[in-house]
Structure 1
Amino acid sequence: MDRRTFLRKNTAVLTAPATGLAERPAEPGGAEEETVSRYANTALPSTARSTAGIAPYTGTWGYEQAAHLLRRTLFGPTRTEIVTAAGRSLTQVVNDLLTVPAAPAPPVNVSATDTSVAIGSTWVTQPFDQNFESVRRSSLRAWWLGQMLTQNLSLVEKMTLFWHNHFVIEFGDINDARHAYQYTALLRQHALGNIKQLAKDVTVNAAMLRYLNGNQSTASAPNENYGRELLELFTVGKGPLIGAGNYTTYTEADVQAAARVLTGWRDNQATISSYYTASRHDTGTKVFSAAFGNATIPNGGDQEYKTLIDLIFNQPETARFLVRKLYRWLVYYVIDATTEQNVIEPLAQLLIQNGYNVAPVLRTLLSSEHFYDAVNMGCLIKSPLDFTLTVGRQLQITFPPASNPVAQYGMWDYLNSLTNLQQQLVGDPPNVAGWAAYYQTPQYYEMWINAVTLPRRNQFTDQMISTTGYTRNSFKINIDVLALVQSLPAATAQEPNLLIAELARLLLPISLTTGQLAFLNDVLLPGLPDFEWTDEWTQYLAAPTNTAKKTAVTTKLQALLRTMMGLAEYHLS
């Protein structure tokens, strides 16, 4: 598989006509084509969006600010989480977000196909068997989505996915779910930790060795795949082009030297780990270009790769490159000259000063006046994972309990199938660069919304708001509109305008206009006065088992929520 086809897609996208969907070239082998909406950006703004920097935010702290913080750091914060956060200080909430929870228990077998372990027991240390690979991979994906769905108030899950999009592997390519699990555990372990150490560990991780062919690299035939991606995508990035294949940040000679450093590593299927073979390692001295101060790396055996990582992380541009990716993940995709100067550069210096520990940078960014600038609130289009998980978490869908792993994993697997249809499958970014929405200029997040994905989003919300919902393994999931509204303050639930306003501030990151609120009132009470809702809700509470009274309020609430989830604002974070 050619994992670098993304480099040949940009021109087609950027020069596509504005009238209609621009189809990007298909991946070799007939993979599904990607599309870009005709309404997406054709150029990035040139004026400064915000002049705010990383000075601590000292403005109002309340529901709106807490919701913004949690929307960007969690997958769909619940009303309870937002209200609780609003009642605490910004510092206390950020402290919670940067607290690392205990590592979760590993994924378990939920398929009768895998006869190596009992249902409900883990397969992660069992011998490899191609006959079980497919169901183990499905188990792993389901388990990972389940960690996001059941997250606590911690940034770990959002950052674990970030590192997956950064240090990319594709589960389908490595063909060993046990290696893939070790990779996910590594990302979670370092999610809020030291980036340099993560880079060292992932370099010799068995899954990565397979994915970028490091396990085939020998002294006589160094494989350049990982060395190239390490420089271009994982660390220092491309600077301005100064020659064929040469940039201000690295050259082709540096790629070749890095490849020589990395020779000798292999993956072991029996031990589910990597190992070093001295006879396969290039023992010569590796010479780097002026971009690295003409540094040399002599033979260091199985420790030599660490010297290479240290050399790369000694380059200031590595910190800038990493901070820009963090910014696009948590704030917005436009990094203009003012943002570069006021936010990116000081955060990069902070990252360097803290030895590439990421937590101080995250703390500063999430506590900054820039982060809470109005232009940075409600401007991010939800990814398919964020969109789907937000529906489940914010609207209080009840999922199967851990005591029924077959049903629980089955429902998590269903959600994975939905995000896959929306063009984001956890464990399988489309290529080594990750999901295009985080690097494809000038569209970025706008790529998440197109003629294929928007109907899929709407179909999911329509299904969840219906009474029938979705059933698998004799367990049904849907939005219980009555339980949702009963979880609100009683005075809010019985007054239609207060009810609409409360649901709007939970579900929508942008305040609705007076006209929009009036329209939603008419959806809830078509042609009826406000007191009709109060009367019907009160009657239902007095007789909750009365079918007629229950149906009367249920159908109105379903119509209201269906309409709200159909608003453009619902796709924003």
Structure 2
Amino acid sequence: MDRRAFLSFAPLSPKKAKKLSYGRTFSGVNLYNGEWTTAQVVHLLKRAMFGATPADVAYFKTLTMDQAVETLLNISPMPTPPVNNYNVDGYSDPTGVAAGATWVTAPEGDEEVQTRRKNSYKYWWIGLMLNQQRTIHEKMVLFWHNHFATETNTVKDGRYLYNHNITLRQYALGNFKALTKAVTLDPAMLVYLNGYLNVKTAPDENYARELHELFTVGKGPDSHFTEPDVQATARVLTGYKIDKVTCKSYFDATLHDSTNKEFSTWYGSKVISGKTGNLGTTELDDLLNIIFSQAEVAKFICRKLYRFFVYYDIDQSVEDEVITPLANLFRQNNYEIKPVLQALFKSEHFYDPLNMSCLIKSPLDFTVGLCREFGVTFPPASNYNDAYGTWQVVQYAASIQQQNIGDPPGVSGWEAYYQEPQFHELWINTDTLPKRNQFSDLAISIGYTIGGHTVTIDPIDFAKHLPDPSDPIKLVSDSLDILYRMGVSTETKTFLKDMILLTGTETDYYWTNAWNAYESNPDMANKDVVLKRLQALYKYIMNLSEYQLA
């Protein structure tokens, strides 16, 4: 049944109608025990990863729902760091980093080398997304990047940016309180929000304000931190500086405000006793204990996880049946992230049909996901010149679609994750939609050639991974199961088969014979027949609005 038909399928029972009077769906976090088919598998994979290949879907279909979620919540190994791909056209890294060697521990260098390293960092990050393992880890790094947003153009030092990324990776599925502390002391964040300028003679409130408003308790109707709380927080955080050689932060006790800091009644009128010497560093732990004693921290983060992975609209039903129980679980587990994700991805709410195919793909979901689900091949990282060049193609495509990795538009992250009332609808407009179509059109046709490598979709290879590509009916249906999150009508499937794949003139047998002829003798003539028709089919599928949904 397609989504539009589902939404008007049958009248609700009086009990369900009453519940829906204050929400779009009445499901909660009870364990999901419904069917586990291609639709549910693809739904889970496309929310937890960037795209889902036919091989991914086939693998996860062999698992139970519980096993699939547990597999996705595994942590990926730490990646090999980015390398110098920028010693080109006569340029040489002035700090002596050789081509192909990593720059993450090199001296600072000048402005030009830092610009080149920032670009290297972005391409490297895209490469990690494209080559992700079957886990949620890479998607969670993006989630935390949007939450603890920094901008490369403000931080400027590529080494700080890389270390910040590694911090997000280390804690991506770990403890949120520990992550908040690590980010507070992170050199990239200390630069981005002026923490390194925060001294007792001139407290800087920039990071202090965002710690409350954007990073922990939020600014919702139940968050009542005050301006004096921000001022007290700024004083707690005085004295942290950055060592440009080690790229680590350190504490200078002579710059720290050692007087007592009192917080508002909302924070229980707690007082942090001022400390001198190196004991001043323990005030940060005191501060986090005060903030994390507030239940609103857990609710704020659970709402952000919900909007990122499920749907943007949090009505009263979702607040009561999903956010509140998840937040309670978060607090009961001392702010460990993994139990919350386990409960969410195993819940009846997550697999509620109303929560499937209801998100618009972000530009990174669209570009990286397209490459992954079609199995686009990229050069190995060891061939760094071609690899970084092809990763740049994807990074640039997402950037002009308004998601420039490493450079969200501000400290709040990308507007599509928080801006009411549009939220994710902001990803699609008269500028970005044509650019999405241009990217997919070129990828399915001539591709993007960088050096000696062409980034292009091989539609024949994609079709080969489907159960029965020789059957045009099954070919279309199985392709849509992977590529679409919204069911389409039988009429649409028939149109795709008859008018696009078979060009409106041939019978089903024509395709079967053409495919079998190619399989038995893949010469240029036989290949050309199936290639052109598959290119037309997948180009048309990607240009329909349904392809924009995750």
TM-score, normalised by the number of residues in structure 2: 0.93
Are residues 1:495 and 2:478 paired?
no
1:149, 1:435 → 2: CA distance?
A: 21
Are residues 1:519 and 2:500 paired?
no
How far residue 178 of structure 1 moved from its aligned partner, in angstroms, is 0.1
Aligned to 1:93: 68
How far residue 402 of structure 1 moved from its aligned partner, in angstroms, is 2.2
How far residue 524 of structure 1 moved from its aligned partner, in angstroms, is 0.7
How far residue 413 of structure 1 moved from its aligned partner, in angstroms, is 1.3
Pick from 62, 69, 75: which aligns with 2:50?
75
Aligned to 2:528: 551
Residues 556 and 272 (structure 1), Cα distance of their counterparts in 2 relative to 1, 3 Å cut:
same
How far residue 508 of structure 1 moved from its aligned partner, in angstroms, is 0.2
Aligned to 1:121: 101
Name the % identity: 46
Aligned to 2:357: 378
Pick from 72, 77, 84: which aligns with 2:59?
84
Are residues 1:280 and 2:261 paired?
no
Aligned to 1:538: 516
How far residue 137 of structure 1 moved from its aligned partner, in angstroms, is 0.7
2:187, 2:392 → 1: CA distance?
A: 25
Quote the RMSD (CA, aligned, Å). 1.2
Aligned to 1:391: 370
Q: Does the 8 Å contact 1:237/1:249 carry over to 2?
A: no
Q: Which runs of 5+ in 1 are unaligned?
A: 1-44, 241-246
Pick from 282, 295, 301: which aligns with 1:322?
301
Q: Does the 8 Å contact 2:484/2:549 carry over to 1?
A: yes
1:517, 1:553 → 2: CA distance?
A: 18
Q: Does the 8 Å contact 1:94/1:363 carry over to 2?
A: yes
Letter in 2 for 1:370: H
How far residue 488 of structure 1 moved from its aligned partner, in angstroms, is 2.4
How far residue 47 of structure 1 moved from its aligned partner, in angstroms, is 4.4
Q: Does the 8 Å contact 1:217/1:264 carry over to 2?
A: yes
1:375, 1:347 → 2: CA distance?
A: 19
Aligned to 1:459: 438
1:129, 1:473 → 2: CA distance?
A: 28
Of stretches 157-166 and 526-535 in structure 1, the one that deviates more from structure 2 is 526-535
1:368, 1:397 → 2: CA distance?
A: 33
Q: What is the DSSP-based 3-state SS (H/G/I as helix, E as strand, rest coil) of the residue aligned with 2:30?
A: coil
Residues 394 and 248 (structure 1), Cα distance of their counterparts in 2 relative to 1, 3 Å cut:
closer
Letter in 2 for 1:255: V
2:248, 2:99 → 1: CA distance?
A: 25
Are residues 1:207 and 2:188 paired?
yes
For 1:196-246, what per-residue CA distance to the aligned partner results, in whole angstroms no more than 9, with x for missing partners? 000011001111000000100111110000000000000001133xxxxxx
1:357, 1:167 → 2: CA distance?
A: 17
Q: What is the DSSP-based 3-state SS (H/G/I as helix, E as strand, rest coil) of the residue aligned with 1:267?
A: strand
Q: Does the 8 Å contact 2:151/2:408 carry over to 1?
A: yes
Pick from 111, 130, 137: which aligns with 1:149?
130
Are residues 1:485 and 2:463 paired?
yes
Aligned to 1:268: 243
Q: What is the DSSP-based 3-state SS (H/G/I as helix, E as strand, rest coil) of the residue aligned with 1:471?
A: strand
Are residues 1:299 and 2:274 paired?
yes
Q: Does the 8 Å contact 1:114/1:135 carry over to 2?
A: no
Aligned to 2:323: 344
1:434, 1:488 → 2: CA distance?
A: 38
Q: What is the DSSP-based 3-state SS (H/G/I as helix, E as strand, rest coil) of the residue aligned with 1:49?
A: coil
How far residue 537 of structure 1 moved from its aligned partner, in angstroms, is 1.4
How far residue 530 of structure 1 moved from its aligned partner, in angstroms, is 1.2
1:336, 1:449 → 2: CA distance?
A: 23
Letter in 1 for 2:513: D
Aligned to 2:7: none
Q: What is the DSSP-based 3-state SS (H/G/I as helix, E as strand, rest coil) of the residue aligned with 2:149?
A: coil
Letter in 2 for 1:493: P
1:379, 1:284 → 2: CA distance?
A: 51
Q: What is the DSSP-based 3-state SS (H/G/I as helix, E as strand, rest coil) of the residue aligned with 1:479?
A: coil
Q: What is the DSSP-based 3-state SS (H/G/I as helix, E as strand, rest coil) of the residue aligned with 2:249?
A: strand
For 1:52-78, what per-residue CA distance to the aligned partner results, in whole angstroms no more than 9, with x for missing partners? 111100111121111111110000011
Q: What is the DSSP-based 3-state SS (H/G/I as helix, E as strand, rest coil) of the residue aligned with 2:474?
A: helix
Residues 399 and 250 (structure 1), Cα distance of their counterparts in 2 relative to 1, 3 Å cut:
same
2:58, 2:419 → 1: CA distance?
A: 36
2:214, 2:313 → 1: CA distance?
A: 19
Q: What is the DSSP-based 3-state SS (H/G/I as helix, E as strand, rest coil) of the residue aligned with 2:32?
A: coil
Are residues 1:449 and 2:425 paired?
no
1:352, 1:559 → 2: CA distance?
A: 52
How far residue 549 of structure 1 moved from its aligned partner, in angstroms, is 2.3
TM superposition outliers: structure 1 runs of 4+ over 4 Å: none
For 1:409-464, what per-residue CA distance to the aligned partner results, in whole angstroms no more than 9, with x for missing partners? 11111211111100001111000000000000010000000011101100000001
Are residues 1:57 and 2:32 paired?
yes
How far residue 46 of structure 1 moved from its aligned partner, in angstroms, is 7.6
- Kindly report which structure 2 residues correspond to 1:418-437, keeping only aligned pairs within 5 A, or say none: 418-437=397-416
Q: Does the 8 Å contact 1:46/1:336 carry over to 2?
A: no
For 1:346-384, what per-residue CA distance to the aligned partner results, in whole angstroms no more than 9, with x for missing partners? 000000000000000000000000000000011111100
1:565, 1:324 → 2: CA distance?
A: 31
Q: What is the DSSP-based 3-state SS (H/G/I as helix, E as strand, rest coil) of the residue aligned with 1:494?
A: coil
Aligned to 1:244: none
Pick from 441, 447, 470: which aligns with 2:448?
470
Are residues 1:183 and 2:164 paired?
yes
Aligned to 1:243: none
